[in-house]
Chains A and B, each alone.
Chain A
Amino acid sequence: DTEVTQTPKHLVMGMTNKKSLKCEQHMGHRAMYWYKQKAKKPPELMFVYSYEKLSINESVPSRFSPECPNSSLLNLHLHALQPEDSALYLCASSSTGVEQFFGPGTRLTVL
């Protein structure tokens, strides 16, 4: 298995909802990442997990809460989001901390 999978593919939520995005990889990679990509913009790094510990948080608002339950899974818990949080959320993983493999993303719409 040489891919990063993300679920759901699309998510529509209201500003009072609580939802979670899921990312999974079975390549034995020990680093996992969350990025946010707005339309026609490059991905922006949100969080980095290394060996299941949060190592980078790029000043992301607390309404985004990452979780790494094990070495294969990465979640992003969402609560009280704003319409401007609508974007494509990308997960990536890496074995070396250098080359990253990206998932297809979850397209999030906040109403």
Chain B
Amino acid sequence: AQSVSQHNHHVILSEAASLELGCNYSYGGTVNLFWYVQYPGQHLQLLLKYFSGDPLVKGIKGFEAEFIKSKFSFNLRKPSVQWSDTAEYFCAGLYGQNFVFGPGTRLSVLP
């Protein structure tokens, strides 16, 4: 079955700390991968996406993600988080027409 998993349910960091959120996807042929962010009370916004090519993808707000095919992983990183990064982060994969979200990771950044 097509699935996306995220390693952490809740991550708590202090400002300026580095961030890495884990994401693994199940094999399904060609998979397009995404990271979405949902700030409190706001709608889902696309942070970055991977279709093909360079496995290191840069997104908005200083986020990047690395696609590692051998590990079926697509981890999200940011070198220095800010309080405003507090949000829910969803990894997602598109298998054909089926868009599958991971369970989400809640990031809390302490000022």
Q: Which residues of A contact B (CB under 8 A)?
A: 33, 40-45, 48, 50, 55-56, 90, 97-105
Contact = CB atoms under 8 A, between A and B. Distances in A.
**Count class of interface residues, chain B:** 20 to 34
20 contacts: A41-B103, A41-B104, A42-B90, A42-B92, A42-B101, A42-B102, A42-B104, A43-B101, A44-B101, A48-B97, A55-B97, A56-B98, A90-B43, A97-B97, A98-B32, A99-B46, A101-B46, A102-B36, A102-B45, A103-B43
B27 interface: no
SS class, residues of chain B in contact with chain A:
strand
Nearest to B49: A99
Contacts of A48: 97
A48 B98 CA distance: 9
Contacts, number: 44
Given A42-B104, A99-B49, A90 B98 contact: no
Interface of B: 32, 34, 36, 42-46, 49, 51, 90, 92, 94, 97-104, 106
Contacts of A101: 46
B94 A104 contact: no
A90 B45 CA distance: 12
Nearest to A42: B101
Contacts of B97: 48, 50, 55-56, 97
A97 B104 CA distance: 22
B58 to A, nearest CB: 16
Contacts of A41: 103-104
Contacts of A103: 43
